[in-house]
Chain A
Amino acid sequence: MKNTHTFKIAPLLALTVLLLFGFTTKQPSSAYKCMIQMTNYTGEGAYIVISLLNPQGDYEKTIYVQGDDEEWYHDITEWWKFQGRKRTDIDAITGATISGGERAISIIEIEDEFIDRGYKIRFESAVEDQDYFKDDVEFELTSESVKSKVDGKGFIRYIRLIPQ
């Protein structure tokens, strides 16, 4: 009798905890200016997704998406396995595609708790009918790396980050 009582309380407790942490604790975050410089490839504008990976290498959240036509999102295969399932609203963090030779500057926000904790930032890129690069740029987030320049392996020549 007593046992069943506890079982009834348990989910309620869990919910309360979830609500408390989910809504009250807004993590402090910082804005970073991010520049993506593309290589001189020819063809359509590239879709680029910036996401945060946890220390295990799994997707934690989507930080920014260059490319606003959802139709082509499935071309960014790895990320789409994550985003396609969850379908979080990314309208606010979406910009236009960037073509070869161009560069784009955007403001991204990263919670401070992810810095120096083994989390990584990943830039995936895909161009219609051409290639897809799962980790065009990928590096660990440290207080040093967030003000650096990192070269890309695919369509991205380099990216630069500086704290705002």
Chain B
Amino acid sequence: MTISIWRYSHMILAVSSAIFIFLATVTGIILAFEPISNQIKPYAITSASNLSLAETIETLQNEYNEVVTLKKDENDFVIASVITKEGRSNRFYINPFTGKKIGDIIKKASIFEFATNLHRSLFLKSTGRFLVGLFSFFLFLIAITGIKLIIKRQGGFKRFFSKVVKEEFAQYYHVIIGRYALIPLVIITISGIYLSLEKFDVLPSNKITHTKTQISENSKKIAVKDFKIFNATLLNEFKHLEFPFSDDEEDYFVLKLENKELYINQYSGDIISKGDFPLPLLASNLSLKLHTGQGNFLWAILLLLTCFAILFFMYSGFAMTLKRKKRSSSKMQNISDKDTAEYIILVGSETGHTQRFAKQFFEAMCLKTTSVFIDQLNNYTSYKRAKHLIVFTATYGEGEAPSNAKNFETLLDVIKQNQTIQYSVVGFGSLMYPNFCKYAIIVDALLQKNKSFMPNLPLFKINNQSLEAFKTWLGQWNDSTSLNLKIQLNKPTINRKKLSNFEVISHTEINVDDTFILQLRPQFIQKFQSGDLLAFYPEDDNVERLYSIGRVEDNILLSIKRHEFGVCSRQLSQLTQKTMIKAKIRRNLDFHFPTYAKEVVMIANGTGIAPFLGMINDKSNDVKAHLFWGGRTHDSLEIYSKFIDKAFNKKTLSSFHVAYSQEEGKKVYVQDVIQENADMIARILNTDGVVMICGSIAMQNRVLEVLNDITTEKLKQPLSTFENNEQIKMDCY
């Protein structure tokens, strides 16, 4: 398995610091509740922020024998340390208006005490602090590499927050949550590192240096309540005030504000000396605030959520790593040498999926001939006896080479083969990305230009690791060579207990196109709607077959084409009424009817019409719907016509455009009809309408080309703009 340096460091850092980060996160979750629980205590007097310090001091001096210190804590609770009239020393929260005690000091709960110790030093004192600081730094690096990976994955910094392609649960949410949690995560780690460093004498000193101020000689004794500085200072700027220790003239008030410290003569009220907080001290205070969430309810909640996000990253990260490892676990063992093999297989894989296909192909080849050699595209070199080159490659980002194929282009240029080699390129990718199999296209073109190579099979693209498509290509390959390869594509295991029963309600005759409509009803109530998928798992191979659902009343409507050798479609075509069949509903949220749009264009060919038959009958009149359908002949339409007529009568379908490709005279395809209605399509897309496409991949590609022409010509924007805006919904196979 090859992976890019970024992903590799992201993973290695995570693995090496997992235990520490886990401990810090769990204790962090506990600690987040401390500021939250303190904040909800009723000791903050919000209206007191505009009260002057002089007023509070006066009330306190009247109320108590002596005041030692007055302090406002991070929760804005005012704490006074006093000697009461009874001569007892005491410390408590006060109401700054009345000077009266309103509560005892909150004692740090032992659970927080414990969690704090574990969080910052793992009970290992200095060693622990160092480790925590170090792993905090690691977490910071993980966040940074994570940002880099998201940028790469999304295809550029500008697309950072654009839609993420959903492949697997763990991967999808790792990215989705990652994008939002990264910012607080970076803040937490940087402040954490700062706080750790503080204990190791490596930061500049945060001591306050005082400078004496000029005092006028003839200052007189005045009452404390008349001190200029105390009258000018409001409670919301004030932090801490220490009263003079004794009556001696040299003892003074020490007043701390947000960013400075003042010494104040206890008789004249003059400022004796002033010290600004140095930058390191301000940074330290800020770090503490940001790291602990003290005094800020919302920030504390955000910190708490970030902690949960970290736990999720750990889970999903490990889930992904394990999966990837599993995919590429058993290493490929070459029997022959690169210079003796006739067949050379080169692989470009990013996540390991492509590798799996290549490996199965390689193993099948090994059964037939010993002269096969498999390697990564990056290791391209001279192959003395090679006759065939087969390239399996994925695409990374916006048409870039996967990490183990980055050097292929250069190597191909430099290294010359002595003989002519026939080549075939198989691209793996997902149609959900704008640059489907782009790198495979590039490789194919490079080989075509190279004089040492001659095409054997045209470029073949495989969407979403489709086994069917791969089998199709294998058929072509077998035809082109004398080898009759058989690949036992792993039969997945299915837990049949998790499938539900569906009763066959009706079953139309099989029409001229070998197509029929099947209506099923779930035995028990289930949530589903048009656009969802029904998955069948024929017992022969357990491979999932998905059919798009159209919801008509409470029934599932499926439009199925019977394939000559199709295991599943054949079985389904033989079903009789009232029999039960096992299947599973797959929610397909990306292909639900967009009730938020004003106008919707539905484009389908063949059996792809099924979800739309449900949608046009199940919607309100508010959203205008236009249906485009491509079929072979007039007769093809017949099994669908009753659903379309019904929608017309209910006025839930605004227009219906049909194209026949096999009628006498002119061959018309659905994309031709779309081209004819270019103005309407452009208008709908421009007014936030949605285009939905369901049917074959070939049709989808043609339709997307036409749509792109329409948008570039009429709206001066590429189709991808609308795709990113989620105005194009597709469900093709």
Interface residues of A (CB under 8 A from B): 31, 33, 35, 40, 42-44, 68-69, 71, 100-101, 103, 105-107, 128-129, 160, 162, 164
B125 in contact with A106 (CB, 8 Å): no
A107 in contact with B207 (CB, 8 Å): no
B122-134: CB near A (< 8 Å → 1, else 0) gives 0001100000000
Checking B81, B126, B245 against A129 with a beta-carbon cut-off of 8 angstroms, the contacting residue is B126
A69 in contact with B69 (CB, 8 Å): no
A35 in contact with B245 (CB, 8 Å): yes
A129-B83 Cα distance, complex, nearest whole Å? 35
A to B CB contacts below 8 Å, 11 in the list:
A31-B83, A31-B89, A33-B245, A35-B245, A42-B205, A71-B117, A105-B68, A105-B81, A105-B242, A106-B89, A129-B125
A33-B248 Cα distance, complex, nearest whole Å? 14
B232-247: CB near A (< 8 Å → 1, else 0) gives 0000000000100110
B-side contacts of A44, CB under 8 Å? 199
A62-B304 Cα distance, complex, nearest whole Å? 41
Asked whether B566 is an interface residue with its Cβ less than 8 Å from the other chain, the reply is: no
Report the minimum CB–CB distance from B593 to chain A (whole Å).
61
Asked whether B113 is an interface residue with its Cβ less than 8 Å from the other chain, the reply is: yes
B83 in contact with A42 (CB, 8 Å): no
A43-B126 Cα distance, complex, nearest whole Å? 11
B-side contacts of A42, CB under 8 Å? 201, 205
A162 in contact with B246 (CB, 8 Å): yes
Q: A44-B199, A106-B89 are in contact. Are A128 and B125 (CB under 8 A)?
A: yes
B-side contacts of A69, CB under 8 Å? 113
A-side contacts of B66, CB under 8 Å? 164
B-side contacts of A129, CB under 8 Å? 125-126
A40-B199 Cα distance, complex, nearest whole Å? 14
A33-B108 Cα distance, complex, nearest whole Å? 26
Asked whether B665 is an interface residue with its Cβ less than 8 Å from the other chain, the reply is: no
Report the minimum CB–CB distance from A134 to chain B (whole Å).
20
A107-B81 Cα distance, complex, nearest whole Å? 10
Q: A33-B68, A107-B68, A164-B83 are in contact. Are A43 and B199 (CB under 8 A)?
A: yes
Asked whether B87 is an interface residue with its Cβ less than 8 Å from the other chain, the reply is: yes
Chain B, residue nearest A69 (CB): B113
B196-240: CB near A (< 8 Å → 1, else 0) gives 000101000101100000000000000000000000000000000
A101 in contact with B87 (CB, 8 Å): no
Chain A, residue nearest B116 (CB): A69
Chain B, residue nearest A160 (CB): B245
Q: A69-B113, A129-B125 are in contact. Are A101 and B89 (CB under 8 A)?
A: no
Report the minimum CB–CB distance from B450 to chain A (whole Å).
67
B97-130: CB near A (< 8 Å → 1, else 0) gives 0000000000010000100010000000110000
A89-B246 Cα distance, complex, nearest whole Å? 30
A71-B83 Cα distance, complex, nearest whole Å? 30
A69-B108 Cα distance, complex, nearest whole Å? 10
B-side contacts of A103, CB under 8 Å? 242
A103-B68 Cα distance, complex, nearest whole Å? 12
A107 in contact with B113 (CB, 8 Å): no
Chain A, residue nearest B254 (CB): A103
B-side contacts of A101, CB under 8 Å? 207-208
Checking B83, B126, B208 against A107 with a beta-carbon cut-off of 8 angstroms, the contacting residue is B83
Chain A, residue nearest B82 (CB): A107
B176-207: CB near A (< 8 Å → 1, else 0) gives 00000000000000000000000101000101
B-side contacts of A33, CB under 8 Å? 68, 245-246
A31 in contact with B87 (CB, 8 Å): yes
Report the minimum CB–CB distance from A89 to chain B (whole Å).
14
B-side contacts of A128, CB under 8 Å? 125-126
Chain B, residue nearest A130 (CB): B126
Report the minimum CB–CB distance from A36 to chain B (whole Å).
11
A116-B166 Cα distance, complex, nearest whole Å? 83
Chain A, residue nearest B245 (CB): A35
Chain B, residue nearest A103 (CB): B242
Report the minimum CB–CB distance from B533 to chain A (whole Å).
59
B245 in contact with A164 (CB, 8 Å): no
Q: Which 6 A-B pairs have the closest CB atoms?
A: A107-B89, A129-B126, A105-B68, A35-B245, A162-B246, A129-B125
B65-95: CB near A (< 8 Å → 1, else 0) gives 0101100000000000101000101000000
A35-B243 Cα distance, complex, nearest whole Å? 11
A79-B117 Cα distance, complex, nearest whole Å? 23
A43-B206 Cα distance, complex, nearest whole Å? 11
A68-B69 Cα distance, complex, nearest whole Å? 19
Chain B, residue nearest A101 (CB): B207
A155-B320 Cα distance, complex, nearest whole Å? 53
B-side contacts of A43, CB under 8 Å? 199, 201
Report the minimum CB–CB distance from A63 to chain B (whole Å).
12
B207 in contact with A162 (CB, 8 Å): no
A-side contacts of B208, CB under 8 Å? 101
Report the minimum CB–CB distance from B3 to chain A (whole Å).
41
Chain B, residue nearest A100 (CB): B207
Chain A, residue nearest B201 (CB): A42
Chain B, residue nearest A30 (CB): B87
Checking B81, B108, B207 against A40 with a beta-carbon cut-off of 8 angstroms, the contacting residue is B207
Report the minimum CB–CB distance from B594 to chain A (whole Å).
59
Report B244-260 residues with CB < 8 Å from chain A CB: 245-246
A-side contacts of B113, CB under 8 Å? 69, 71
**Contacts A71-B113, A107-B68 supplied; 7 other A-B pairs, CB < 8 Å:** A31-B87, A31-B89, A105-B68, A106-B89, A129-B125, A129-B126, A164-B66
A-side contacts of B81, CB under 8 Å? 105
A164 in contact with B125 (CB, 8 Å): no
A31-B117 Cα distance, complex, nearest whole Å? 35
A-side contacts of B117, CB under 8 Å? 71
Chain B, residue nearest A105 (CB): B68
Chain B, residue nearest A70 (CB): B113
Checking A71, A160, A164 against B87 with a beta-carbon cut-off of 8 angstroms, the contacting residue is A164
A-side contacts of B126, CB under 8 Å? 128-129
B69 in contact with A105 (CB, 8 Å): yes
A128-B129 Cα distance, complex, nearest whole Å? 12
Chain A, residue nearest B205 (CB): A42
A29-B245 Cα distance, complex, nearest whole Å? 21
Checking A31, A71, A105 against B245 with a beta-carbon cut-off of 8 angstroms, the contacting residue is A105
A-side contacts of B245, CB under 8 Å? 33, 35, 105, 160, 162
A110-B139 Cα distance, complex, nearest whole Å? 52
Report the minimum CB–CB distance from A97 to chain B (whole Å).
12
Report the minimum CB–CB distance from A92 to chain B (whole Å).
10
